[in-house]
Amino acid sequence: MKTKITGIELRRIAMPLVTPFRTSFGVETTRDVLLVRVVTADHEGWGECGAMSEPRYSSEYVDSVQHVLRRFLIPALPKDGLNVHEPARVMAPFTGHRMAKSALETAVLDAHLRAADESFGSYLGAARDRVPCGVSVGIMDSVPELLDAVERYIAEGYVRIKLKIEPGWDLAPVRAVRERFGGELPLQVDANAAYTLSDAQHLAALDDFGLQLIEQPLANDDLVRHAALAKRLRTPICLDESITSAADAAAAISLGACSVVNIKPGRVGGYLEARRIHDLARAHGVAVWCGGMLETGLGRAANVALAALPGFTLPGDTSASGRYFATDITKPFVLSDGHLDVPTGPGLGVEPLPDVLDAVTTSVEWIKM
Ligand code: NPQ
Ligand code: MG
C-alpha cells in the first residue's frame, strides 16, 4: 500500500517537566519537543523526535533535526506515494541524523497504519497487551531527597528503579537505596558515558549491590573499552548511546562489549531498525529493554507497543505520563499494577488533544509536498 503525502507539519512544543531531570550531562527543566505530522488526503500520522535542545546526549539537537528534515530528508521523499520502507531507503544516503530520520519514518508509518486500520503493536509484533514499567531517577542534591523520590515511585507501582549516576554520585546513592529498600528491589544504574576505563576498579565496587546492569559507563564511541571493562565487572554492561544501528549491536555483541541492550527507536533511526536490533539480540540470547527520551504520549504510545515484543525481557523506561508531565498532549498513560496498556487503536492508537497541543506549541512550520 502506498501513502501519498500532501504536506508535512513540523511543530515545536515546550513541555514543562514536573521536576528538573538531572543526568551526568546536564539538567532539563522543560522538554523542547519536535513533532512531525504527515498529512495525506484522508489521514495524518505523528512522529515524535527524541532529540534534546542541546547536543549533549548525542550530536543531534532539536534545531538540527528541524533543519535536516526541511533541507534534505523531506525533499528526498517520493512525491507520488511511498510504502513504509521507502523513507529509510531514500534517507539512507544522508549520514547520521538518526533521530530526524526516526521522527519522519514514524509519522509515515503512523499515517500508513491508520489508513490500514492496524495498530503499531500489531504491526511490530507485540506478544502481550501490557508491559511492566521501570522509572529513571535523576541525580539529586542529597541522598535523603533521592530516597524520598524512590519511595514515591515504588509506591506508584514501578517494578524497577534506575538511578542516574556520575563520579561523586554512585556508590553512596546505590548503597543507600539497597539499605532502605532491600536486596530484592530490581535496581540498575545509568552513567550516560561519565566514566573512563581508569575508573574500572571503582566501578567494580558496584558489584556488591546486585545491580541488574550498569548502562553506558564509558564513551559513546568506545566499544573496545566497554569490552575490556566487561571483563573486570560482574555487573552486566548495557549499552545505550553506543548502539545507533543493528550493525552496532552486532559488533557490540560479538566483541563482548555488552550483554544487554537499551533500545531507543529515535537513537537507532526508527521502529523498523529497533525491531531489527530486537530480532538480532533475541537470536543471540541478549536481553533488550525499551529506553526513553522523556516522550509525550505520542512517542510513549509507540515505545509501549515496541516494548511488548517478545525479546523485551526487562522492564523499560516506559514510565507513565505523570513521571514527566503534569499535563500530557494525549490522554495520559497511567500505571496500573506497575504496567502500561499497549494501545490497540489504529496507528499509535492515541491522538493529541487539540487544546493542550495548541497551548504548548511554540512554532509551526508547514512543508507542502
Ligand atoms: C537515558 N533517558 O537512558 C536517557 C537520557 C536522557 C529516561 O534516563 C531531555 C530529553 C532530557 C531526553 C535526559 C532516561 C533527557 C533526555 C536524559 C534523555 O540515557
Ligand atoms: Mg541511558
Mean pLDDT of 322-332: 98
Quick check: pTM over 0.85?
A: yes
CA distance 158 to 266: 24
How long a stretch of residues is the chain?
369
Q: How far are the Cα atoms of 207, 329, 353 from residue 13, in angstroms, in the given order?
A: 41, 10, 13
CB of 291 within 6 A of ligand 1: the answer is yes
Q: What is the pLDDT of residue 2?
A: 86
Q: What does DSSP say about strands 130-132 and 339-341: parallel, antiparallel, or unpaired?
A: antiparallel
CA distance 24 to 167: 8
Ligand minimally distant from the alpha carbon of residue 21: 1
What is the biggest distance separating any 2 CA atoms in the chain, rounded to whole angstroms? 62
Q: Residues of the chain with pLDDT > 70: what percent? A: 100
CB of 32 within 6 A of ligand 1: the answer is no
pLDDT band of residue 339 (cuts 50, 70, 90) is: very high
Handedness of CA 234, 56, 107, 93 (dihedral sign): negative
Q: List the strands of the sheet with 260-263, edge to edge.
A: 134-137, 160-164, 187-190, 214-215, 237-239, 260-263, 287-290
pLDDT digits (tens, 9 = 90+) for 65-111: 999 999 999 999 999 999 999 999 999 999 999 999 999 999 999 99
Which residues are catalytic, by number?
164, 264
**Which residue's CA is the closest to the ligand 1 atom numbered 5?**
293
Ligand 1 centroid, distance to 116 Cα (angstroms): 33
CA distance 298 to 250: 29
pLDDT at 163 over 90: yes
Positions of E strands within the chain? 5-23, 26-40, 44-48, 130-132, 134-137, 160-164, 187-190, 214-215, 237-239, 260-263, 287-290, 339-341, 361-368
Q: For 149-193, give the DSSP string.
A: HHHHHHHHT-SEEEEE-BTTBSHHHHHHHHHHH-TTS-EEEE-TT
Q: What does DSSP say about strands 339-341 and 361-368: parallel, antiparallel, or unpaired?
A: unpaired
pLDDT band of residue 3 (cuts 50, 70, 90) is: confident
Q: Which residue has the cell 530520520?
A: 101
CB of 217 within 6 A of ligand 1: the answer is no
CA distance 97 to 68: 8
pLDDT at 354 over 90: yes
pLDDT digits (tens, 9 = 90+) for 264-288: 999 999 999 999 999 999 999 999 9
CA distance 316 to 321: 14
pLDDT digits (tens, 9 = 90+) for 218-248: 999 999 999 999 999 999 999 999 999 999 9
CB of 317 within 6 A of ligand 1: the answer is yes
Ligand minimally distant from the alpha carbon of residue 190: 2
